[in-house]
Structure formats: structure tokens, C-alpha cells
């Protein structure tokens, strides 16, 4: 059954039938700063910048929102108390609600330490290794990899998805995703 559906989708796509049924998404730039969305490098830098700040500093969540396509998703990998690995899917608003108080209360800086990027057409994927600190020049308390799925619509860059996992003693960041020495 699954193979039949896949073959039908391929056939429809080749014949133009699938394209005719897909409505073009309405994407409106919610006031993004042009310098934040001019390149893949710029949008990734803007993401790290906007979530970072001192204890007590309110984040510019409108700037954060302006970087994402409508219906974008932020998906952390979570380990449950019983040892299972699962994902938690958040909308941009869900992330803002769950992260803002904690970031302001404790101070939070996340910086990119290495990146591997691949691109095809409008689709860009970046594996961005990060480290997190409570103070700008403090000691890192966490590291991991953010998997950014980005899109260029011909006029600007958008974040479609951020999917990430934290480093643990049993799940270290592979050397190919760490800074070159």
C-alpha cells in the first residue's frame, strides 16, 4: 500500500498534478531586519544573538519571530527519566513561552563553535555545533548540535526548522563537528 502511494505521488509530481494541488504558502516578512536575513550566515548569527543575553535582560522576541516561516518548528531531543529518547515539537510561540523566563532569570549565551553546511536550490542544511553559558565570558555548561533547515525564497532567508540534541558523556559531539585545531 505504501509503495503504491509513493508511486502515485511520483507520477503526479512528474505530470504536474501534485504542483497544481499545492497552494503557494503565504509568507509575509514580520519586520525582519534586512541584515538578519541576507544570508545563511546572517540568519544563523541573528538566531544566536537574539536568544543570548545577561541575567535580567529581556530578549527581542519579535526579532526572533521575524526569522521564521509561518508554522516553523523547533524540535529538541529529550531524554526521559526512564532513559528513552524522544522529541518535543514546539511552535515559535511555544519556544518563546517556555524559554523566555528561564533565559532572563539565569542569563544565557549560546554561541556557534563550528558549522558544516550543505545546500541544494532553495534548501540549506547547517549542522551548527554550539556551547551555552550563563555569562558571556563564563564557562560553558552545555554543548550540542543545532540542525538548522533554512530556505531562501529569492528575497530573504527563513528558518524552517531547528532540530537539536545535547552532548552527553555517552553522546559526545563527533570531532568532524568541532572546531578545527
Bridge partners, residue 151, by sequence? 123, 158
Nearest residue to 59 via CA among 91, 90, 94, 99: 99
- Say whether pLDDT at 15 is over 50: no
pLDDT tens profile 95-147: 999 998 888 889 999 999 999 999 999 999 999 999 999 999 999 999 999 99
- pLDDT of amino acid 102: 86
Average pLDDT over the chain reads: 88
* Mean of pLDDT values over 174-179: 96
* Residue pair 97/105 in contact by the 8 Å Cβ criterion: no
- pLDDT of amino acid 89: 97
32, with CB counted inside 10 A (0-12, 13-18, 19+), is: buried
pTM of the model: 0.83
Amino acid at each position: 500500500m505504501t509503495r503504491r502511494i509513493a508511486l502515485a505521488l511520483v507520477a503526479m509530481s512528474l505530470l504536474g498534478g501534485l504542483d497544481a494541488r499545492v497552494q503557494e504558502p503565504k509568507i509575509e516578512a514580520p519586520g525582519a531586519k534586512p541584515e538578519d536575513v541576507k544570508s545563511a550566515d546572517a540568519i544563523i548569527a541573528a538566531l544566536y544573538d537574539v536568544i543570548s543575553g545577561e541575567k535580567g535582560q529581556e530578549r527581542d522576541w519579535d526579532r526572533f519571530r521575524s526569522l521564521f516561516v509561518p508554522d516553523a518548528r523547533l524540535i529538541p531531543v529529550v531524554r526521559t527519566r526512564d532513559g528513552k529518547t524522544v522529541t518535543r515539537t514546539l511552535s515559535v510561540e511555544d519556544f518563546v513561552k517556555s524559554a523566555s523566563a528561564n533565559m532572563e532569570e539565569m542569563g544565557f549565551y549560546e554561541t556557534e563553535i563550528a558549522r558544516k553546511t550543505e545546500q541544494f536550490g532553495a534548501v540549506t542544511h547547517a549542522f551548527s555545533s554550539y556551547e551555552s553559558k550563563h555569562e558571556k565570558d563564563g564557562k560553558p555548561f552545555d554543548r550540542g548540535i543545532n540542525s538548522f533547515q533554512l530556505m531562501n525564497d529569492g528575497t530573504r532567508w527563513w528558518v524552517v526548522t531547528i532540530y537539536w540534541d545535547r552532548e552527553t558523556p555517552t553522546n559526545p559531539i563527533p570531532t568532524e563537528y568541532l572546531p578545527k585545531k
